Amino acid sequence: MAEGALTGVTVGITAERRASEFVAALERHGATVVHAPTIRVVPLPGDERLRTATDAITESDVDIVVVTTGAGFRGWLEAADEWGIPEALLRSLSRARVFTRGAKATGAVRRRGLSEVWSAPGETNDELFDRLGTEDVRGRRVVVQLHGAPLPDHVAALRDRGAEVIEVQPYRWERPADLAPARDLVGRVVAGTVDALAFTSAPAAANLLALAEDGPDRAAFADALASRVLCACVGPVTAAPLVERGVPVVLPERSRLGALVKLLVARLGR
């Protein structure tokens, strides 16, 4: 589609990370963007639990490392840089078998000189941990790098099979202090002035849905998503909270921001 294909189209986005890049890409195609963050990423480089987990890894070898996000792995190594122990951490990780959740996690691992033994082609946690289900983990030390939230079911399954699991959480997600923009976005959706919602993280999608469900217009919001608002998600993990509620979603062929923008142009361009 040519430049300006989204002129007259209003897109709501809920991202914090790479939000300015996303807004700029949509505006280059002429879209009006309503930016209403529903999460904020809180880094944890000074978190005592993260340091304790990292020390446990550097002081004794681990057998398996599970990397769920590129951003999380980079954040963890950046924290290690601040603590002055990146070499010790990388030495320990280099002796382990590394499993990654897709291309972004793989790229982050390789940039630190490590290599993966397997990467989830569909870039989902279920796929990643299903693959780990074929590994003999009894008596093994398994490091699970979390994203912004715990993965209790997956971690419990590993422990039930006899693994010693060390959870590493380099950052967490919280609701932003100011929810007024998100409530305004819900109101715009109900009023019919938003053509699409574009999501790049599952927690952001879940928080917007929860905010709408707690409000007076929950039925009208749900009806809008079911009938006239295009919900575009960067990938299946991001789409999960919407799919669980029966909301129709569209996904790009590749789970990338640029591909998501192209999808919106293709579906809504005039």
- Please tell me which residue, 201 or 32, carries the higher pLDDT value: 32
Predicted local confidence at residue 3, as pLDDT:
57
* Interacting residues of 94 by C-beta distance below 8 A, sequence separation 6+: 113, 114
- Domains by residue range for the chain, with CATH: 10-39+175-268 (3.40.50.10090), 43-173 (3.40.50.10090)
**pLDDT tens digit sequence for 40-72:** 877 766 778 899 999 999 999 899 999 999 989
Q: Report which residue type is found at 11.
A: V
Complete DSSP assignment for 129-147: HHHHTTS--TT-EEEEE--
Instruction: State residue 49 phi and psi, 5-degree precision.
Output: -65, -40
pLDDT in tens, 210-236: 999 999 999 999 999 999 999 999 988
Mean pLDDT of 80-85: 93
Q: Could you give the percent of the chain with pLDDT greater than 70?
A: 97
Q: How confident is the model at residue 17 (pLDDT cuts 50, 70, 90)?
A: confident
Of 17, 25, 6, which is closest to residue 260 (Cα–Cα)? 25
Residues found in the chain: 270
Distances (CA, A) of 242 to 11, 33, 177: 17, 21, 24
pTM for the model stands at 0.71
Note the pLDDT of residue 150.
Answer: 83
Using DSSP, how many helices (H) and how many strands (E) does the chain show?
12, 11
Strands of the 118-119 sheet, one edge to the other: 118-119, 97-100, 64-67, 141-145, 164-168
> Could you give the C-alpha distances from 171 to 20, 40, 87, 224, in angstroms and in order?
20, 10, 21, 33
| % of the chain beyond a pLDDT of 90 | 79
Tens-digit pLDDT profile for residues 139-157: 999 999 998 778 999 999 9
Give dist(CA 165, CA 60) in Å, integer.
13
Residues with Cβ within 8 Å of 134's Cβ and at least 6 positions away in sequence, in order, are none
Angle between helices 180-191 and 218-227 (to 10 degrees): 60
Q: Give pLDDT, residue 77.
A: 95
Does the pLDDT of residue 1 top 70, yes or no? no
- Average pLDDT (94-99) is 98
Looking up tokens 């991001």, which residue turns up? 238
Span 188-200, average pLDDT = 97
Mean pLDDT of the chain: 93
In this predicted structure, what is the pLDDT of residue 45? 66
**Both ends of the chain: CA-CA distance in Å?**
8
How large is the average pLDDT for residues 3-13? 92
d(CA 182, CA 5): 26
What does the radius of gyration of the chain's CA atoms come to, in whole angstroms? 20
